[in-house]
Structure 1
Amino acid sequence: MKVLDLKCRQAHCFEGWFASETDFQAQMQRGLVQCPLCGDTQVDKQLSVPRLNLGAKAPRAAGGPDEGSLPVATPSGEGAPATLQGAWLALTRKIIAHTEDVGDRFAEEARRMHSGEAQERAIRGQASAAEAAQLRAEGIPVIPWMVPQALKETLQ
């Protein structure tokens, strides 16, 4: 198993797991490797630190960090982009799990719910910027939220 650190053109960093380097290259050529945040298929490999399993460590003493341990990233520290990225992905997964995808019928379905023609429920779908602006002008609440294609599909 080959675990690679990857980065898209928008500087989103993510991890990819591949059977081999050949598998990674084949998936790249077919456009299957994409950023989970923005869907960009233009990704580059980054320098990675290999993980070596050298056996189990003895449990650490309570009250202090291990010798040589790394600091925990906080929202204001160097790990902020990764922390925010993880939070955004978690929220996006929650939105997908708790909403109905109505696809390109979003504006139509939102209007039907607003007028009482359809049962009110949490929906998501696609609408142009102009359609979203028109919905808001009609008093229909709309929140634009980009859901990457990779999160919409079942992982294989």
Structure 2
Amino acid sequence: MIRYALKCSDDHSFESWFASAKAFDTVKSAGMVVCPVCGSDQVEKAIMAPRVSPARSKAEKPADRPLAAPMSDAEKALSEVRKHVEENSDYVGLGFAAEARKMHQGEAPTRSIYGEARTEDAKKLIEEGVPVAPLPFIPQRKTN
């Protein structure tokens, strides 16, 4: 997995994870990388410093460090997007592509859904005219 700092044409900054650099290029060329703030698909990689953790001194204990850094504006926006999606959509898991296709063809009731799909399946949905968009986060798998 690789994390990229991204910026849309309206100068909104955000981050997203991709399976590889090639996966980023593939989903970007399919118009599936969108800004979580404004929805623009005019997104480019931004300059990003690598995240390097300093070595812990022997005297430092985990309790000496803060549990979490304050959230940035982009992280807050992403958290709100995730909350909205989870509260207003049905999670269909790995069956996302099949369920989206059924709804598009009138074989299942239309509703808001989210889930997971392989890149190839997502590209096929787009080619078929099924209205889908990638989420700027990875859904948490629900087990019940």
| Superposition TM-score, scaled by structure 2 size | 0.49
Q: Whose Rg is larger?
A: 1
